[in-house]
Amino acid sequence: MSAGRLGLVLTSPRVAPGLLSHPAWVAVRDAGHRLARTADESLAEALVDAGLVVEVVGDLPAPALARRLVDLAAGADVAWLGSADGDPGLSDALAAEVSRLEVPPEVEVVVGSWDVQGGRLLDVVAAMDRLRSPGGCPWDAEQTHASLAPYLVEEAHEVLEAIDAGDPRALAEELGDVLLQVVFHARVAEDAREDGFDVDTVAGLLVEKLVRRHPHVFADGGASTPEQVEEEWERIKAVEKAGAGGGYADDLLHGVPASLPPGLAADKVLARLRRRGLGADDAALAELEAARAALATAEERARDALRAVADSARPTPG
């Protein structure tokens, strides 16, 4: 006598529940029994919509659920539709049940769907939705673009610090903090509903820009070296800015934020000079380099002062 088969169907919560791999669909379709914790499990709902019968077992503890599944699989193929919480304890309970049988059912994990690249970005959006929704975080709920602005500057500089330190793990974490600011601002705009936007607007505009400025990849552009790519990027950007009101092609400072640190602003302008094949007065360049050196000295003095304040800080009495 041969036992049946118990298939543990695992799916990604970031993929539409009806999009099953072929092996998973065959296992679910041909099973004599399909079981799920609750009727509102997303995969269970999708299968019921497809005309399949799903038995709801409710909140059974792991040992009782394992025995139920193994007993059913003694004479038929069974598909367990994995729960959103990962069914803690079920694997160990199944191992204990199978080990007590002379002719145990074949137990296999059936992968119904895999995470796609970037799937965790959906989790970031979901987490921000929880934080900004009723019952979420009161601090997050009251933030505005203006109140968040200092954090974006701070996080960007922490990314630079991680790059200088050569620490990949720290860099990944700091980039996550910058990503948080992007998603946070998008959610603030979505909540405002006045000429607002959402995170999909941000992502869509970015994709459009990447495609538009990389014709050598997405169209029939002829740039084949990094230098040619930079020149083409500059040309396309100038055309875009001209269409949006002009000024970019004629003014090297056009679009350089006033709040950008002077050293970074200087690097940006010098890069524009190079990409546009322009020269500059030697005296002006020398003055710029002297100003940059003076700024570096002033910044170091400010850091020393901050360090002295931090070292001398004491708890406030009372």
Q: Please name the fold of domain 5-111.
A: Cobalt-precorrin-4 Transmethylase; domain 1 (3.40.1010)
Question: Whole-model pTM above 0.85?
Answer: no
Task: Please report where in the chains the tokens 């059974």 appear, as a residue.
Answer: 60
Q: Is the pLDDT of residue 247 over 70?
A: no
Cβ atoms within 10 A of the Cβ of 77, count? 20
DSSP 113-137: --PPTTTHHHHHHHHHHHHHSTTS-
Tell me how far apart the alpha carbons of residues 38 and 259 are, in angstroms, rounded to a whole number. 54
Q: Indicate the angle between helix axes 262-275 and 282-312, nearest 10 degrees.
A: 150
Please, which residues have CB within 8 angstroms of residue 291's CB and are 6 or more apart in sequence?
Answer: 262
Tell me how far apart the alpha carbons of residues 197 and 192 are, in angstroms, rounded to a whole number. 9
More confident residue, 299 or 89: 89
Q: Is the pLDDT of residue 7 over 50?
A: yes
* Average of per-residue pLDDT across 72-90: 93
Position 136 scores a pLDDT of 97
To which CATH superfamily is domain 120-278 assigned?
A: MazG-like (1.10.287.1080)
167-224: pLDDT as tens digits? 999 999 999 999 999 999 999 999 998 788 999 999 999 999 999 999 999 999 888 9
Q: How far is CA 65 from CA 38, 50, 97, 175, 269, in A?
A: 13, 25, 10, 42, 67
Tell me how far apart the alpha carbons of residues 307 and 291 are, in angstroms, rounded to a whole number. 24
Tell me how far apart the alpha carbons of residues 17 and 285 are, in angstroms, rounded to a whole number. 61
What confidence category does residue 1 fall into, taking pLDDT thresholds of 50, 70 and 90? very low
Tokens at residue 207, please?
């994709």
Q: What is the percent of the chain with per-residue pLDDT over 70, rounded to a whole number?
A: 94
Position 263 scores a pLDDT of 76
Q: Is the pLDDT of residue 246 over 60?
A: no
Tell me how far apart the alpha carbons of residues 100 and 119 are, in angstroms, rounded to a whole number. 40
Q: How far is CA 192 from CA 130, 144, 187, 202, 305, in A?
A: 17, 9, 9, 15, 41
More confident residue, 269 or 128: 128
Please, which residues have CB within 8 angstroms of residue 173's CB and are 6 or more apart in sequence?
Answer: 162
- What is the DSSP secondary structure assignment for residue 317, as one 8-state letter? P
- What is the DSSP secondary structure assignment for residue 107, as one 8-state letter? E
Burial of 14 (0-12, 13-18, 19+ CB in 10 A): middle
262-298: pLDDT as tens digits? 777 777 777 777 776 667 777 877 887 888 788 888 8
